[in-house]
Homo-oligomer: A and B are copies of this chain.
Amino acid sequence: MTGSPLTGSLVIVGTGPGKADLMTPATRDAIAEATDLVGYGPYLDRVPMAPGQYRHASDNRVELDRARHALSLAASGRRVAVVSGGDPGVFAMAAAVFEAVESGDPSWRSLDIRVEPGVTAMLAAAAEVGAPLGGDFCAISLSDNLKSWSTIERRLRAAAEADFVIALYNPASKARPHQLDKAFELLGNLKAGQIPVLFVRAAGTSEARVVATTLARADAAGADMRTMVIVGASTTRQVGRWIYTPRGARP
């Protein structure tokens, strides 16, 4: 660091669920104006190339390193866009960037940083099937890379007690095949077996695929890294070919 004022900037954006027409114009413009894009390769592949723009693609499991790299570039005067999928503030890069600011060079706290909202995966998944998030709901990441499984269990229990609709992000990966099984087992002991459970794969892309089942029949093998799992509330129901949760609740 020199003593000179910081003239770079950093914007954290989300490309939405996948289809180009689900990315907001504000995000498209922020990406186009950046000198440097930093992100997981497949997300960078979704955005058009701009002349002279640098692309710093990385693996998906090094969020903090990627955030520090982006902050260093901004501190050196570059206009940086950190590119997530979905909404950058929901289980994506924005929190990682602020973690890196907190633990990093004190000058980073005076950088020009902003966040552009986007369409997060659970909204795209819900739209594919109707309106399952029509009542009160919660969003839980099943990844225990950064929190303990006991914390996740406590949250699932509380979500059942609240009768929230439950959106499960990161339900399964090759490294974690058994957690969704455990989550279904836990919820199955607390909620009625006929409650709708939705597996929505690749929501908001041209390959979207929906499997609607019940909690009693839900099989964790139906989920992978690209799947959003939504577990209904007691009121969630089917009408025609749609699944929705009414706005009201049981008393």
Residues of A in contact with B (beta carbons under 8 Å apart): 12, 16-17, 19-26, 29, 63, 87-91, 94-99, 101-102, 108-110, 113-120, 123-124, 126-128, 130-141, 146-148, 150-151, 154-155, 158-159, 161-164, 204, 237, 239-242, 244-251
Contacts and interface: CB of A to CB of B under 8 A. Distances in A.
Given A101-B242, A117-B127, A162-B138, A89 B251 contact: no
9 contacts: A94-B244, A95-B134, A96-B247, A108-B240, A117-B123, A118-B119, A137-B139, A148-B251, A154-B163
B22 A24 contact: yes
A115 B110 contact: no
Contact of A99 (B116, B126, B246): B246
A87 B123 contact: yes
A145 to B, nearest CB: 8
A130 B94 contact: yes
B21 A25 contact: yes
A138 B135 contact: no
B133 A89 contact: yes
A73 to B, nearest CB: 18
A95 B21 contact: no
Contacts of A94: 127, 130-131, 134, 244
Q: What 5 A-B pairs come out closest when comparing CB atoms?
A: A95-B134, A158-B162, A109-B240, A94-B131, A146-B248
Contact of A138 (B24, B130, B139, B251): B139
A101 B239 contact: yes
